Amino acid sequence: MSHDTTPPRRPLPARLGVASLAAIAAAGVAAAPYAVAAKAKTRTLSASGELVRTAKPSALSSVQAGTVTGKPFGSGRMTLRSSLKQATVTSTFTLQTSAGLVRGRATARLTLDGDTATYKGTARITSGTRRYRGATGSNIRFTGKGPVSAKRTKITLSGAVRY
């Protein structure tokens, strides 16, 4: 008669199974922020606001800031830094909302009618943070109108942004 010398198999203790399950779950939770990145989506941009001059670093440059509201960013504080060369205004801007920051550039043609300055051109969204991370946009219509002094300028942005 032959005897089997292998010890009988016992089920794994319940605590080992629970510990293993907990380790696997913790690893999955730690990896989740990287695995669930949202796919970029194109959104309509339609925003407007009024900016007030906050600084005038030189005769041909200004810094303006104010509230801009509209789609898709909601309401936020825009800071616009502009310089004038011949009849072209070149600007950089930031738009800070509770969900993140958007950065961009704009170029516009300046026309004067008496004491009124009108700006028409295009803007480009170059980057974003938090919810707007990776934001891009080009050929965005950028318009502005206000006194030649640039003390108050009403602006509009319309086009598309992707983030």
- Number of C-beta neighbours around residue 51 at 10 A: 26
CA atoms within 13 A on the CB side of 5: 0
CB 62 within 8 A of CB 82: yes
pLDDT band at 77 (very low <50, low <70, confident <90, very high): very high
What pLDDT, on a 0 to 100 scale, did the predictor assign at position 151? Answer: 94
Q: Is the pLDDT of residue 159 over 70?
A: yes
Percentage of residues of the chain with pLDDT beyond 70: 77
Confidence of residue 39 (pLDDT cuts 50, 70, 90): confident
Q: Does residue 148 sit in helix, strand or coil?
A: coil
Structural domains for the chain? 42-162 (2.40.160)
Tell whether pTM > 0.85. no
User: Quick check: 140 and 160 in contact, CB under 8 A?
Assistant: yes
